[in-house]
Chain A
């Protein structure tokens, strides 16, 4: 019997013939922590009597969640991270560098065929370039930093075959929201998701990141894709290590295979307060919004800002609406400046904040007020997510958010899109 991508990578990294549901101890290629999880990991590292990182060049810490620090308490956490990073000589990215996941990809720390853990649930993003990358907690992170290893239950795989061609004005975000709505928030719990098919292959690497990023929102451990020429070109540009992509065998065994055709897909919206509460935009259009947010590890990349700018350029946001933009990294912000994208966004009324998580996790940079509606490109709309449990978060594509801040209500972006 053949193997899935997940079984192959875990076999290679554990040195045993790993099959779904086996438990293996595997060697890690890279380990990442952010400022919401790293201080607990440092604590656990000390509790474990840890001395040195197994390999400092394979560990990174990133300050992105509350960056720059909005509070004294947070400043203390950040200081502890800086001290640990300096002592251990690990890779370290301070405020303004960007969201941890974007950096892991941009800086070439995750490559095809590698095994990566991150103390952040959206570590699954790197599956888009064929890395077995998964979110863990702080104690796992500490054990990984000390030993270079982690225990894994080899996941079963559910395969999503996406046929057809996404219509104009409909994006990878709409596609993944649609899939999550279909399989629900626990539809792939404990499992690996493999995304394939012509609609996936047609996406840019940036567009693919959005899909794998949200694999966790269907409960999956990883969101894997096969590497193709686009992957190889993208990774070679960002990483200076060699890599070997891993393909699924033709006779691999899947827990389920689900096929879709997206040729008629409408823009999709996840309504409050769960990500699987998905509806086509025609059912939600007209809902008033007070704040729009473009950014995050899901949709804060150059391609996303470019689409948004093309919609708001030369227009003004609705007077009752705020518009917040957080580029996912410093590099993206610089590129967006050079292209004039930032200027278009700012002239339309955007408040551009430090590259990083921005208001996504509710600690600063745009906490909504009681009863307010927010439309966001993030990956989660849980009650209280943006810092106020009496506000309501809708999720959509960057185009949908851009169109909505112009009108002050949830708006189908398709009429705003110039024909390709």
Chain B
């Protein structure tokens, strides 16, 4: 899996209410519509600036707060390629893997807003093209890569009818 795009930077403790506010999650089941409001409370123009394949880059504890799966889905539907952060909150982490949004832990201090990044998941490396540095990432356990490569847990279940990590 290779991805290329620009970095959009956020701070520590970005919670799921910021990713997608509760006031929208109850209004619609249309994920494309929800995606228009992604990160709105932190950066009202975010959705308009994002190009397909761009990265969200954040500090520690990204995705803390509620269990709403609309959070990773809104990010996916805004065409974000992956989220890079120093650490992730647990439920958000599960939900992202389950819905097929790649998450990677790395030292995001090496990335500035607007930097061009290239990600190679198998090799476990992020190339910061703008700054000419390679940033190592913590590799995902094989069964998570399996769920991601199946396209999420729903696809995994559709294929196997149950958990299958053989």
Contact = CB atoms under 8 A, between A and B. Distances in A.
B162 interface: yes
A95 to B, nearest CB: 14
Interface stretch (B25-33, B46-54, B118-126): B25-33
B113 interface: no
Contacts of B152: 139
B21 A137 contact: no
B90 interface: yes
Contacts of B89: 186, 189, 219
Interface of B: 13, 15, 17-18, 21-23, 25-29, 41, 60-61, 64-70, 72-73, 87, 89-91, 94-95, 98-99, 141, 143, 152-155, 157-158, 161-163
Interface in A345-362: 361-362
A189 B154 contact: no
Given A25-B163, A40-B69, A186-B89, A383 B153 contact: no
A165 interface: no
A274 B12 CA distance: 11
B67 A135 contact: yes
A250 interface: no
B153 A143 contact: yes
Interface residues of A, number: 50
Contacts of A135: 67, 91
Contacts of B41: 383-384, 389
A305 B16 CA distance: 30
6 contacts: A36-B26, A37-B67, A137-B95, A140-B95, A146-B161, A147-B163
Interface in A47-69: 47-50, 65-66
A164 interface: no
A186 B154 contact: no
B69 A37 contact: yes
Which one of A119, A137, A151, A380 has the highest number of Cβ atoms from chain B below 10 Å of its Cβ? Answer: A137
A409 interface: no
A151 B163 contact: yes
